Amino acid sequence: MSEENIINRMAVICQQIHRYNHQYYVLDEPSVPDAEYDRLMRELTTLETEYPQLKLLDSPSQKVGGVALKSFSQVVHQLPMLSLDNVFSAQEWQAFVKRLIDRLNKSQAKATVDFAICAEPKLDGLAVSLRYENGVFVQAATRGDGTVGENITENVRTIKSIPLRLQGTSFPDVLEVRGEVFMPKASFDALNQQAIKKGEKGFANPRNAAAGSLRQLDSKITAKRNLAFYAYGLGFVGVSEDGNGVGENWLATSHYQRLCQIKALGLPMCPEVKLLENATQVEDFYQHILQQRAALSYEIDGTVFKVDDIALQQQLGFVARAPRWATAYKFPAQEELTILEAVDFQVGRTGAITPVARLKPIFVGGVTVSNATLHNQDEIDRLGIQINDTVIIRRAGDVIPQIVSVVVERRPENAEVISFPKVCPVCESAVMKAEGEAVLRCTGGLYCQAQRKEAIKHFASRKALDVDGLGDKLVEQLVDEGLIKTPADLFKLTSLDVSTMARMGQKSADNLIKGLESAKSTTLAKFVYALGIREVGETTAANLAQYFRTFAAIKAANDEQLQQVPDVGVIVAKNIVNFFAQAHNLEVVEELEAIMSWPDIEVKSDDELPLKDQTFVLTGTLSKMGRNEAKAALQALGAKVSGSVSAKTHYLVAGEKAGSKLVKAQDLGVSVLTEDEMIALLNS
């Protein structure tokens, strides 16, 4: 057989297999039996083994797994891969629609609730971008940070539902298809069953399984995981008049129709995607998908709604790294029944005694939950909960395990009333509850080993003195071995003390001593924050330093003087006065004063504080400056940086994955800045 004949035969077989894959995985309408498919695949692999130099780039044989990768390179997205903001109720959805209408009316686009909506299930998988050049699959990348992702091309080649060559002959020169890679429920169950048989740990949920499979360094492993893909949109599209006969007008003006175009090219589209006539139909779609959730072959955690008209999308634009024209309408957190087996009491840095529920382990919301906070006595009374009760556990916001209620009719005879300790469970000091508070606290202060550890961890933490080489575990070890009892004891440590401890070498010991020496030079604001005075956070510490300018003045201030400081109210002032009234606290503070130093605070003129009296709130991930750096830069110019949005907020700086604070700011009409806009403001 001549080389030309071999190439032609390979091309014919590839074309047939691509068509069969499309019929089987996309249309669910196989036209040939498996035996015929297998025969063609065997013929193709035989030819490719004999003539490897003639293998086609888009050969379907590559879906069985390629050569193991040593590492993942980075891919810069030609168009950013955006994330979505969320709504969690019908009221929040209606507020979202109102914002759309208001913005469209301001931009002189005629808008009513009648604009069409593209509705989709929100797949619980991993977002990827597929790049096709002249119809051939050439690259796949994860979302990453939205700008740069991981190159997972070889692994994505193994996903049977993703074609290596587009269907037909009319397509853009460059087409980036965005979508979700996921693991069907059946595949996930089978994968975990195999892991159990091998004595290995299974995956917590299908999303983790999909993500872990895509990031395998050996694509042969990925090929065995039976991943799937659904397209949900387009990224970069490049067209030229002399390309494949596709010009500027190839793209549909409807988001839904663009999905149909993608499907026509051979890429799968979720069968539950639906075009709604207007926003009033959203709730029905949401409820329908919610009811169908358990019956679907894949995991979802909500629905996604997008303005269908592309022109309206462009007019609405984006907020930070999320589109204004789309949102995820999340489902309520999943709930399960389990048993409250015991209650432990933990002591925090400020002496707060928190009851922690020990639960019979239960799989809920994608993870196995065995603990949940009960907050305080008031919450226990509200729930009417007892040990050995059957309880409903929920992962509130899909993050924090929460006990919702008690199934009283299942209460057993051996149920026990939950009793708070009369003394601290760690140091046996007296406990007390301040007037107007629900929290019980240990009065042992730094004498309490639990508070001692937490106080020292806080003192050395990144936002306080940032002691290099002093992690939480080392603090616990130092306290347990009796080498330190207070923050001041840290500076008495020697390299010999540390190097003789278990798992500590000479180099680590030397590095810690250097870190402690460096930490002796700080700022007054950081020093005040590091002391761990209850309810004195970074902002309050900075305000105290700026107002009083010396530590001696802060120590000597009374309630009335302290309340003159911005953000310091009656309770915070009382906490500060009480802290310095304790003899054991003063003893430690005086030791620290003799060891540490900080520069004098210069009084700045109003000209040097252009952002004075302006309140900023930071939310989301700031990729260029980081939250701490941005906060310091704003405060240096006189701004107040708050942790919550209110009507008095002047600006909200929204980074990546900005959530409820962004929604609240928009509802209140607060000005929203991107990170770049904030940097420009600082520079100006």
Show which residues are catalytic. Answer: 122
Q: What are the angstrom distances between the C-alpha of 240 and each of 169, 174, 176, 244, 260?
A: 15, 9, 15, 8, 22
CB 325 within 8 A of CB 310: no
The helix/strand count (H/E) of the chain reads as 24, 26
Q: Which residue's entry shows tokens 């015991």?
A: 342
* φ, ψ for residue 340, nearest 5 deg: -85, 105
Tokens of 378: 């008031």
d(C-alpha 456, C-alpha 7), whole Å: 71
d(C-alpha 384, C-alpha 35), whole Å: 63
d(C-alpha 379, C-alpha 350), whole Å: 20
Q: Are strands 640-642 and 440-442 parallel, antiparallel or unpaired?
A: unpaired
Q: What are the angstrom distances between the C-alpha of 180 and each of 303, 326, 332?
A: 14, 16, 22
d(C-alpha 445, C-alpha 452), whole Å: 7
Rounded to the nearest 10 degrees, the angle between the axes of helix 206-214 and helix 185-197 is 80
Secondary-structure breakdown of the chain: helix, strand, coil percentages, each rounded to the nearest 5 = 40, 20, 35
d(C-alpha 459, C-alpha 528), whole Å: 10
Cα–Cα nearest to 444, from 590, 582, 589: 582
The sign of the torsion formed by the CA atoms of 243, 246, 248, 254 equals negative
